[in-house]
Structure 1
Amino acid sequence: MKEHSIYHRQWLSLWLILLLTVISNMLVLTFWLADTVSSELLLISSGILILSLLALHWNHQVLLKKAEKLIASELTANQPSSGVFPFLTSAVQQTKDALNKDVDRIKKINSELEHRVLQDNLTGLQNRSAFRKDLTEFLQRETLSDQACLCLIRSTELATINHQRGRIAGDQYLLAIAEIVQSVSQRFSTHYVYRLSGSDYAILLPNASASIAPILGKELKQLFDNLQLQILAESIAYSGITFLHPGQPPEQPLSRADLALAKAQTNVVNGWYLQEENAGDAFQGESHWQHTIQSILESHGISFSGQAIQPLNMAINNYIQIIPRFIGPNQQSLPSETVYAMAMRHGTMGKLEELVIESLLQQHKLHPENVARWGLNLSASALFSSSFIVWLEQRLLQEQDITPNLVFEIDEEILDCHLAASIRMFEMLRRVGCRSCISKFGRGLGSFRLYRELRPDYIKLDSYLVETIERDGTSQQFVRMIIEISHRLGCVVIAEGVETTSQREALERMYIDGIQGQLVSKIIPIGD
């Protein structure tokens, strides 16, 4: 049966009451005309009229209350009513449709934002936040028998590639590792892959058996070895593997994986290591590296590679960038950036740099026919250590036939941290007859202040300036200004990280003195 609207009901009630009123008054009028009406009948008729009006008022109040309830139900109902309030129903439905569309749009935006928040911009992998979330959720499972495999992967050549080949090559290196990690993990039914930081990745494999570890480690090493041959690097990445169970605090599996990574880095190149049990010493990974660095110092475990700088100005000397490589107790190559970081952490950086310089001097003596200048990068520890500067000055004074061919490079960012120490280092290098160089020049507002105070023999433009020189007019003007000022002051300008012929052509047009990068020279070992 069709339900009438509230307006129909109001009119129906009104007509019924009016009809009752009219009938009662007609009866009174009939009796009055018949001259039989009495005062009692008039009172009755008046009473009926009053009661009708009261009834009309009461019915109106009832309908208002009912209307209020129906409006509330219309506003809260999931489905439209059968038409008690047709105009209201239509307006409410339109409003609901519009709100639903807005809600769906907002949900979509929120989903995209959540995805972006948990995603690494470069590789498209999930990031550290997503890793912590998934790791915590697994460790909070109620089934304690569940087991997952965690693999931490560290790309050890990122800083070296960025410095020697430019940031574009560094990004390509990171993308290649991400592709390898994804391809290996896809062999397993359930897998999660993350990029934790600039150089670290992680694989989480829930419901994993113990047999997964060697399969995972061997496949990663094989693909890393192949990539190493393709890009001609000293290493690519190392893998530390462990297993975890619900109920453990997150620090335990992460500590085991970090220890496994430390052991892998001191094993074979691109190697892997499985750490199943918790270490008795919470700092076993640190101790492991401490013993490794001590072994390097005692056995003089160091070799050198070099990258030639191509001169574009025939008046300048040939220049070779010298790159130290460290050899572990088992004659394996160790990741240089990690060795430096651990030496800094354990207070042996000074001794390590002394070993590098002593070995460099001995290596130079083995090549008396060499006429090129050798450039070596010094760390922040060397700049801020007075004892090291005193030792270096005394040692170089003993090698006066070699010092004119040595160039000591220090990054602009390090020099800018302590101007007084920087001036002391550069003055000492001039006293002993060595050459000085500010590397990664042009990164900050203090570049020209350093230039004026230090008066270097060489400056190496930061690779970011080289990357943007083709498309950024500001970079072009900045580089042109640096070259013009340097030539007036007798300073040689070299561009680092030259990767394309268009970059080279642009720099040649600016009359730069030399260029360095994979485009013009590969990194090759310096023979004994």
Structure 2
Amino acid sequence: MTTSKLFQLFLVLLFSGLTFLSYQDEKLKLSTQAQLQLDQYANTIKQQQQWQGKGEALFDTLTQQFNFQFFQYIDTSDSGNNFTHGQLAPTEKVNLAKFFSLQSPHTQALDAGRLQVKLSNLATIDSTVARFQNVLFIIWTTFLLISVTYLLLTMRQKRSIRYISMCVENLAKLSFGAIENSRIKGEFKSIGVTFDNSKQLLKAKIDGFHKTHERLSKTAFHDPITGFGTRALFTEKLDEIGKPEHKGKGVLMVIRATELASINQMHGREAGDDYLTRIANEIKCAFNEIPQAQFYRISTADFAIVIADIAIKQATGIADALKTAFNEYQQQVGTPAIGHTGLVPYLQDSDPVSLMTLADTAVSIAQTLGPNSYHIQEKLTGGELFGESRWKVAINDLLRRKAIRFYIQPIRPCRHNVEFYRELLSRFYNSQGKLLPTATVIAMAERHGMSEELDKLIVLNTLRMLIQSPNLDGLIGINISAASATNKSFVSWLKNILSRQRQIAARLVFEVSESGMQANLSATYHFINELHSVGSRISIERFGLGFTSFKLFKEVRPDYIKLDPSYTQEITQDPHNKFFVKMIIDIARKLGIKVIATGVEKQQDKLAMEQLLIDGLQGYYISEPSPLKKEEKSLTTA
């Protein structure tokens, strides 16, 4: 029950109580007056105790002082004196008089007879009713005035409350219109002021939330490096394309930045970000005249472009322009490739999963076609090989054709009494003579269990090259996978091969990644001992990233360790990094192990490493990888 109804009920009960009290008071007064009149009559009739004569005469005598409702005189000796007037039963009263019913009977024995009367109280009752009516009028008029006043005040309050409620409802709808203070009156004015202040504060906070949301949305849905949409937006776009109500056709283009991992490893993440930014800029330039193109970065190294209302022929022209731009960029940076592109046309109600399967297949095929190539995959005929399966076929093909070329990158010694080597970098090419992405070839070979065959190809071609190239002197470094180095059958094969060519074996330095070696220290120890037994040397690359790095010093004793490029790139900014590198150098020198800094891209990095008394330096600032052209010719004729 609301407060207003409770108050109305209280008023009704209060004034009903006042009415009842007034009624009781008037009734008491009436009873008192009637009793006084009855007492006066009793005194008067006592004076007529010896009355002799007719009853009518007695009635006339008493009527001068009293009004009778009923009068009856009965003479005991002479019935002729008997007299009766009025009626014993009272007359029926109307209106309020019936609430004041009062009887005043009296019986008196006289000497000559008996007198029975009922005094009439009509005049007294009428005056009592009149007074009671006046009191009722005052009471209920007051009640009415109070009720009307309260009702008016309540209506006024309700208007203010309704207005405040409307303001709150508008606030819930984030509507921040000005408050009409004239509509908020009385005690609600303070609420209006507080509400207005709260509204302003809330508006300020909401504005702040909007700004934060915009910033977070930009972060969540826009890649900070390229400015392209994120995978979440791309997924929404694919879902939109897959809806039955979607109309129109277009082309989905996926571009894979195949050299990102290598650039991050050799030059650092900042260089990797620059690489991605350059690719994004080339993509934007290629689509400069295609306003409907939508750009996304859907993974670390993958970009997607959705081009609505375009034919595959027109998209092919864009892919050609991209290939040209990528070729020019490749010549500038000297990487094996920049990116590979897959094109897939889509129609109304295309299935997103099938569309991405086609796109992945197209990119995988493009990667096997040579640097910066593209491939169009309109549909699956059943003869295509998807992603990794196609790579397995491609790796088997290059193993069969022995399709490998070597680049060489020297390591510059920092001291005259230190002997260092030149590192051979393997490059693989397809049947058309176009280079394949090296990192992808190695990763796919390991995934399909073909690392051992690939490493054997590298070792055999290196041995053949050194035998046929007597002018290529000095130590030569070869990269092999950790999977092969920890495989006893491969180590046995390698030792057997090197045992036949001990002079060449003494010139070889086998490079293996620390991350793969530290997983199996006993196998690593066996690998190093076996190669040391035939005169070869061991270099642990990407050293310093594992928790067991120092244990390698004690357990396996390699000939060289190559620090991870991250130590070089941060050597001038991070004093802790410098301290760690210095500690490695000191420990390695005591154990007779030579330490090489890799990823040297700047002069300040070179100087900082030389100040720490590093043994050797390798990086693009020292010397870029260069092809072994003469050795390639000898291999071709072999």
Work out whether the TM-score is over 0.5.
yes
Please tell me the residue identity of whatever aligns with 1:506. A
Q: 2:419 aligns with which of 317, 325, 333?
A: 317
1:59 aligns with 148
Counting only pairs closer than 5 Å after superposition, residues 272-351 of structure 1 correspond to structure 2 as 272-280=374-382, 283-351=385-453
After superposition, the C-alpha distances for 1:500-521 in whole angstroms (9 at most, x for unaligned) are 1111111111111111111010
Look up the SS of the partner of 2:411 in the other structure: strand
After superposition, the C-alpha distances for 1:290-346 in whole angstroms (9 at most, x for unaligned) are 332222111111110011111111112232111111121112211112222232333
Q: 1:50 aligns with which of 124, 139, 147?
A: 139
1:75 aligns with 165
1:206 aligns with 308
Report if the CA contact (8 A) 1:166-1:499 is conserved: no
For structure 2, the residue ranges without an aligned partner over 5 or more in a row are 1-125, 171-176, 632-638
Q: 1:220 aligns with which of 316, 322, 339?
A: 322
After superposition, the C-alpha distances for 1:349-397 in whole angstroms (9 at most, x for unaligned) are 2211111110011112223233321112222321343322221121111
Report if the CA contact (8 A) 2:572-2:605 is conserved: yes
What is the alpha-carbon distance in structure 2 between the residues aligned to residue 188 and residue 279 of structure 1?
31
Query: Could you tell me how far 1:186 is from its partner in structure 2?
Result: 3.1
1:456 aligns with 558
Please say which of residues 502-511 and 240-249 is displaced more in the overlay: 240-249
Q: 1:189 aligns with which of 269, 284, 291?
A: 291
Report if the CA contact (8 A) 1:83-1:89 is conserved: no
2:604 aligns with 502
Look up the SS of the partner of 1:133 in the other structure: helix
Distance 1:284 1:46, change over 3 A: same
After superposition, the C-alpha distances for 1:165-205 in whole angstroms (9 at most, x for unaligned) are 44443332222222212222333111222222232222121
Distance 1:66 1:282, change over 3 A: farther
Report if the CA contact (8 A) 1:181-1:220 is conserved: yes
Counting only pairs closer than 5 Å after superposition, residues 419-458 of structure 1 correspond to structure 2 as 419-458=521-560
1:124 aligns with 227
Q: Tell me if 1:492 matches 2:582.
A: no
Distance 1:90 1:312, change over 3 A: same
Query: Could you tell me how far 1:259 is from its partner in structure 2?
Result: 1.4
Look up the SS of the partner of 2:506 in the other structure: helix
What is the alpha-carbon distance in structure 1 between the residues aligned to residue 460 and residue 195 of structure 2?
85
Look up the SS of the partner of 1:469 in the other structure: coil
Report if the CA contact (8 A) 2:258-2:340 is conserved: yes
What is the alpha-carbon distance in structure 2 between the residues aligned to residue 239 and residue 128 of structure 1?
18
1:406 aligns with 508
What is the alpha-carbon distance in structure 2 between the residues aligned to residue 139 and residue 235 of structure 1?
33
Distance 1:337 1:358, change over 3 A: same
Distance 1:197 1:417, change over 3 A: farther
Query: Could you tell me how far 1:281 is from its partner in structure 2?
Result: 5.2
- Larger radius of gyration, structure 1 or 2? 2
Counting only pairs closer than 5 Å after superposition, residues 28-177 of structure 1 correspond to structure 2 as 39-40=128-129, 42-59=131-148, 61-62=150-151, 63-64=153-154, 67-68=157-158, 70-77=160-167, 78=170, 80-81=179-180, 83-86=182-185, 87=189, 88-140=191-243, 142-144=245-247, 146-177=248-279
Distance 1:249 1:282, change over 3 A: farther
Look up the SS of the partner of 1:307 in the other structure: strand
What is the alpha-carbon distance in structure 1 between the residues aligned to residue 279 and residue 587 of structure 2?
41
What is the alpha-carbon distance in structure 1 between the residues aligned to residue 271 and residue 235 of structure 2?
29
What is the alpha-carbon distance in structure 2 between the residues aligned to residue 247 and residue 341 of structure 1?
36
What is the alpha-carbon distance in structure 2 between the residues aligned to residue 159 and residue 58 of structure 1?
85
After superposition, the C-alpha distances for 1:200-249 in whole angstroms (9 at most, x for unaligned) are 22212122222322122101100000001111222111111111234232
What is the alpha-carbon distance in structure 2 between the residues aligned to residue 325 and residue 490 of structure 1?
33
Report if the CA contact (8 A) 1:140-1:247 is conserved: yes
TM-score, structure 1 normalization:
0.87
Distance 1:198 1:291, change over 3 A: same
Look up the SS of the partner of 1:330 in the other structure: coil
Please tell me the residue identity of whatever aligns with 1:296. L
Percent identical across equivalent pairs?
Answer: 31
For structure 1, the residue ranges without an aligned partner over 5 or more in a row are 1-36
Query: Could you tell me how far 1:60 is from its partner in structure 2?
Result: 5.3
What is the alpha-carbon distance in structure 1 between the residues aligned to residue 543 and residue 327 of structure 2?
34
Q: 1:251 aligns with which of 344, 348, 353?
A: 353
Q: 1:471 aligns with which of 532, 556, 573?
A: 573
Please tell me the residue identity of whatever aligns with 2:512. I
Please tell me the residue identity of whatever aligns with 2:373. G
Q: 2:487 aligns with which of 377, 385, 394?
A: 385
1:397 aligns with 499
What is the alpha-carbon distance in structure 2 between the residues aligned to residue 443 and residue 487 of structure 1?
20
1:12 aligns with none
After superposition, the C-alpha distances for 1:470-500 in whole angstroms (9 at most, x for unaligned) are 0101001001111111111111111010111
TM-score, structure 2 normalization:
0.73
Query: Could you tell me how far 1:93 is from its partner in structure 2?
Result: 2.9
Structure number with the bigger relative contact order (C-alpha 8 A, sep ≥ 6) is 1
What is the alpha-carbon distance in structure 1 between the residues aligned to residue 142 and residue 515 of structure 2?
94
Report if the CA contact (8 A) 2:258-2:437 is conserved: yes
Query: Could you tell me how far 1:283 is from its partner in structure 2?
Result: 4.1
Look up the SS of the partner of 1:186 in the other structure: coil
What is the alpha-carbon distance in structure 1 between the residues aligned to residue 289 and residue 200 of structure 2?
45
Report if the CA contact (8 A) 2:364-2:386 is conserved: no
After superposition, the C-alpha distances for 1:127-178 in whole angstroms (9 at most, x for unaligned) are 222222222222226134x112111111222233333444443332222222
Look up the SS of the partner of 1:499 in the other structure: coil
RMSD, matched Cα: 2.2
Report if the CA contact (8 A) 2:483-2:516 is conserved: no
